[in-house]
Chain A
Amino acid sequence: MRRFFLLLIQLLRELGDENAYRRHLAAHGRMHSPDEWRRFLDARLSSRYRQVKCC
C-alpha cells in the first residue's frame, strides 16, 4: 500500500511538472529560483500546448 501511495505521489508530481523541473535543475546544474522556474515552465508549456489534446 505504501508503495502504491509513493507511486501515486510520483505520478502527481510528474503530471504537475515538479519532477521534470527537478530533472531540469539537475541536468543543468542550477539551483531553484523564481526566474529559473519561469524559464523552465515557459519552455515546457510552449511545447505541450502545441499538441492536440484527446477528446
Chain B
Amino acid sequence: MAVACVGAACLGGIAIHRGEPVNSLWLVVAAICVFLAGYRLYGKFIAAKVLYLDDRRATPAERLRDGHDFEPTNKWILFGMHFAAIAGPGPLVGPTLAAQFGYLPGTLWIILGAVLGGAVQDFIVLFCSLRRDGRSLGEMARDEIGRLGGAAAIAAVMMIMVIMLAVMALVVVNALKASPWSTFTIAATMPIAVLMGLALRYWRPGKVLEASVWGFLLVLAAIFGGQWVSHSSSVAPWFTWGAMTLAVASVIYGFLASALPVWLLLAPRGYLSTFVKLGVVMMLALGILAVRPQLQMQPLTRFIDGTGPIFAGRIFPFCFITIACGAISGFHSLISSGTTPKLIAREGHALPIGYGSMLLEGFVALMAIIAACVLDPGVYFAVNAPAGITGTTPVAAAATISSWGFPVTAAQMAQLASHVGEQTLLARTGGAPSLALGMAHIFARGLGGDWFLGFWYHFAIMFEALFILTILDAGTRVGRFMIQDLLGHVYKPFARMGWMPGVIVSSALIVLAWGYFLYQGVRDPLGGINSLWPLFGIANQLLATIALCLCTTVLLKMHGAKSMWIPCAPLAWLVSATFTACWQKIFSDLPRVGFLAQAHVLQSSLDAGRIAASQVATTRELIFNARLDAAVCGLFLIMVSLVLADSLRLWIAILNGRRPATLHETPFVATSLNLEQI
C-alpha cells in the first residue's frame, strides 16, 4: 500500500509540474513503485491464478539435465543471465529517439507497456516453453496455432534480423563518423578481443574472468589512446573516416566474424561486452540516483503532431514503435523460448526471471530517456536532427533548431564538441551520440567534472558500440547458419556447417542483405534513421504480435475465454499500433512518412527535370530504396496478418466447440531436485 501511495504521489508530482523543470528522481521513484506494485499484484496474479505455476513439477532443466544446455541454475544467477541476454541496445537507443516527443509519452509507455505488455509476454512465453521441454517460439507456434503460424514466425525472424543488423550498424556508423577518438577506441577493441581469444585458448585456458579484467583495462587504455590520436595531427587522419568507409568496414567486420572461428573474435568480445554492459547499466542507475539531474526537455514537444526532425510521424503510433524493446520486445520471446527455459530449476522461478527481468529492462529504458532529457533540448535536437533538415552549416542548423523553440547557438555546439574531444556534434543521428552525451553529463557530475567529460563521452560510445557490434557479429553468424540450413535443402553440402565454400557464400549473402540496408541508410539525405528505425520497430513489434498470439492461444486452451484478456489487451494495442504504423509508412501522403509518397515526389522531380544531372543516379537509387522499404513493410504486414488470421480462426473454432482445446504440454513428472544443491 505504501509503495502504491508513493508511486501515485510521484506520478501526481509529474502531472502537476507545469512549465518548470522536473527532477528525474520523480520519474525514477514513480517507475520503481509502479514496477513493484505490478510485480506484486499483476505478476503474482498471473503466476498463481492463471498459469498455476507448480513447484512440485520437474522442469526441463531437471528432467533433461545434460550439464550443457539443460542445467538447473540458481534463481538469481539465472535472473542476471536472462537480463544480460534480453538487454540489448534497443531499450537505450529507442527511448533516446522517442524523447523528441518530450519525456512524458515515452516514460508513460515504458512504465505501462512493461508492466501490462512486455513482462506479460516474456513471462507467458517462458512458461509455455517450460511446459514444452524448452521448445522455441516457432516450434510452439506450429504446435499450438498451426503450420502457417509456425512458418510465418520463422520467416519473420529471418527478415527482422536483416533489418535489425542494418539499423544497429547504422547507429554505430553515425556514432563513429568523423571521430578519430571513437574510431580508434572501437578499432582497438578488435585486436584486444583477438588477444583475449588467444589467451583463453592457449596461454590461460579457462580463465575467462581474468582475461576479461585485463581486456577491460586495455579497452580503458584504448580510450586514453584515442584521445592522444585525436590530438595528433599526423595520426588522426588515419582514423577520421566518413560514413561510407565505416559502413564498408562494418560489412567486412561482419563477414570476418561470421567466417572466423568463434573462439577467436566473437566469444571474447561477447564476454567483455556482457560484463561491460552490466557494469555500465549499474553505473548509470547509481549515477542518476546520486546526481538527481533536472530534466531539461518539455513534457510534450510540438513534434507530437508528426513533424519531428529525428523521425517523422505522429505520437500515435510512432512513439510506441520507436521505443520498441523498452516496453515490449518480440525478440525477448526468442530468449524466453531459447536458453532460459532450459536452465530454470523450479516453475515458480519463471515469475522473477520472466516478468521481473522485463521490468528491469523497462527501468534501463527509463534511464535512457532520462539521459536524453537532461540535455539542453536545443543540443539534443542539434545532435539528432539530420543535416538534410537543419542545414549543412552550424549557423544554419542552430538557426533552424532555434526557430522550433529550442534555442541553441553554433558557438555553444562548437564549445560542447571541443569539451568532448569531437570535431562536431551536429547531425550525429542514430541516438548513440546524444545518449553518450547525456550519460557523460551524469557521470562527469558524479566523477571528474567537466575536465572528464570527453573521457566519459567516449567511454559511453565505447560501451554502446561494443555491445552493438556484439549483436552485429553474433547476428550475422546466426543468419549464416539459417541460410546454410535453407540452402542445404537445395544442395546438401551447404548443410555441413564447416564446409568452407558454404561458409563463405552464406556469410556473404547475409552480410550483403543487411549491408544493402545499411548502405541505403548511409546514402539517405535524412540520415537513414528516419526510415530504418521505424522499420526495425515495426518488425520487432510484429514479432511480439506473433508471441502474444501464441500466449492467447495457450491461455484459451487452458481456461477458455476467462483469461484471454491478459495477453489480448497488449495484443490489441500492438496490432493497432503496428498495423497503423505499417499502413502509414507505406501509404501516407506525406513524403517524410510514406515510402511510396517519397518515391512519388522524387520520381516527379526527376520526370520534370528538376534534378541536377549529377544527382540523377542517386535519385533513382533513392526511389528504388523507398519502394523496397515499402515492399518490406508490406511483407511484414502480410506475414503477421496470416498468423493473426490463423490464430483468430482457431480461437473462434475453440470457443464454438468446433475444435478441441488440445494443449501440447509434456506430462507431469514430480521433482526430486534439491534446490540447496544448485
Task: Enumerate chain A interface residues (CB-CB to B < 8 A).
Answer: 7, 10-18, 20-21, 23-24, 27-28, 32, 34, 37-38, 41-55
Contact B331 A37 (CB under 8 A): no
Chain B 54-83: CB-based contact to A (< 8 A → 1; otherwise 0) = 000000000000011101011011001100
- B88–A53 CB distance below 8 A: yes
B204 to chain A, nearest CB (A): 9
Cβ contacts under 8 Å, B477 to chain A = 49
Interchain residue pairs with CB less than 8 A apart (11): A20-B67, A32-B206, A44-B68, A49-B477, A52-B157, A52-B161, A52-B331, A53-B470, A54-B90, A55-B164, A55-B471
Min CB–CB distance A6 → chain B (angstroms): 11
B contact residues around A21 at 8 Å (CB): 206
Chain B residues, Cβ within 8 Å of A16: 208-209, 212, 271, 275
| Contact pattern, B 296-331, Cβ under 8 Å of A = 1, otherwise 0 | 000000000000000000000000000001000101
Query: What's the minimum C-beta distance from A44 to chain B, rounded to whole angstroms?
Result: 7
Contact A53 B263, CB 8 Å, known A11-B80, A13-B209, A21-B206: no
Contact: B474 with A49, CB < 8 Å? yes
* Contact of A54 with B209 in the complex, beta carbons under 8 Å: no
Q: Is the CB of A55 within 8 A of B90?
A: yes
Given the contacts A16-B212, A23-B67, A54 and B85 also touching, CB distance less than 8 Å = yes
Q: Given the interface contacts A21-B206, A52-B478, A55-B164, does A41 sit within 8 Å of B77 by beta carbon?
A: no
Q: Is B87 an interface residue (CB 8 A)?
A: yes
- Looking at A7, A15, A21, A38, the one whose CB has the most chain B CB atoms below 10 A away is A15
Once the chains are docked, how many angstroms separate the CA of A10 from the CA of B73? 11
The answer to whether residues A45 and B263 also contact, given A12-B209, A24-B67, A32-B206 and a CB cut-off of 8 A, is: yes
Give the docked Cα–Cα distance between A18 and B200 (Å). 12
What is the count of residue pairs linking A and B with beta-carbon distances less than 8 angstroms?
A: 114
With A52-B334, A54-B334 given, is the CB distance from A38 to B201 under 8 Å? Answer: yes
Distance in Å: Cβ of A34 to nearest Cβ of chain B: 4
B542 CB to closest chain A CB, in angstroms? 14
On whether the beta carbons of B329 and A10 are closer than 8 Å, the reply is: no
Taking CB atoms, residues of chain B closer than 8 Å to A55 are 88-90, 164, 168, 325, 329, 331, 471, 536, 540
B: number of interface residues (CB 8 Å): 54
Residues of A within 8 A of B77 (CB): 7, 10-11, 14
Would B475 and A53 count as touching, CB distance under 8 A?
yes
Report the separation of the CA atoms of residues A13 and B77 in the bound assembly, to the nearest whole angstrom.
10
Interface residues of B in 84-119 (CB under 8 A from A): 84-90
Cα separation A3 to B84 with both chains bound (whole Å):
20
Bound form: Cα–Cα A27–B540 in Å: 40
- Interface pair B80/A53, CB less than 8 Å apart: no
Establish whether residues A45 and B267, one from each chain, have CB atoms under 8 Å apart when the complex forms.
Answer: yes
Question: Across the interface, do A45 and B475 meet the contact criterion of CB distance under 8 Å?
Answer: no
Q: Which 3 A-B pairs have the closest CB atoms?
A: A16-B208, A37-B205, A11-B80
Q: Which residue of B lies closest to A14 (CB)?
A: B77
Q: Are A54 and B87 in contact (CB under 8 A)?
A: yes
A38 to chain B, nearest CB (A): 6
Instruction: Tell me which residues across on chain B come within 8 A of A20, comparing CB atoms.
Output: 67-68, 71
A7→B76 contact, CB < 8 A = yes
The chain B residue sitting closest to A12, CB to CB, is B209
Q: Mark B175-192, 1 if CB is under 8 A from A, else 0.
A: 000000000000000000
- Answer yes or no: B491 CB below 8 A from chain A CBs: no
Contact B335 A11, beta carbon cutoff 8 Å: no
| C-alpha gap A16/B532 in the complex (Å) | 34
In the assembled complex, the CB of B356 is this many whole angstroms from the nearest CB of chain A, namely: 15
A27 x B67 contact (CB < 8 A)? yes
In the bound complex, do residue A53 and residue B474 qualify as a contact, i.e. CB atoms below 8 Å apart?
Answer: yes
Residues A15 and B81 in contact, CB atoms below 8 Å apart: yes
Q: Which residues of B contact A43 (CB under 8 A)?
A: 68
CB distance from B633 to the nearest CB of A (A): 18
Note all chain A residues with C-beta closer than 8 A to B335: 54
Kindly provide the distance from the CB of A51 to the nearest chain B CB, expressed in whole angstroms: 5
Residue B338 CB within 8 A of the other chain: yes
A34–B90 Cα distance when bound, in Å, is 38
In the docked arrangement, what's the CA distance between A50 and B206, Å?
22
Query: Known contacts being A16-B271, A23-B71, A38-B201, is A51 close to B206, with CB within 8 Å?
Result: no
Q: Is B427 an interface residue (CB 8 A)?
A: no
Chain B residues lying within 8 Å of A24, measured Cβ to Cβ, are 67-68
Q: How far is the CA of A52 from the CA of B334 in the complex (A)?
A: 7
Q: What mask results when residues 584 to 610 of chain B are scored 1 for a CB within 8 Å of chain A, else 0?
A: 000000000000000000000000000
Which residues does chain B contribute within 8 Å of A47, judged by CB atoms? Answer: 68-69
**CB pair A34 B205 closer than 8 Å:** yes
In the bound complex, what is the Cα–Cα distance between A37 and B339 (angstroms)?
Answer: 22
Residue of A nearest to B212 (CB): A16
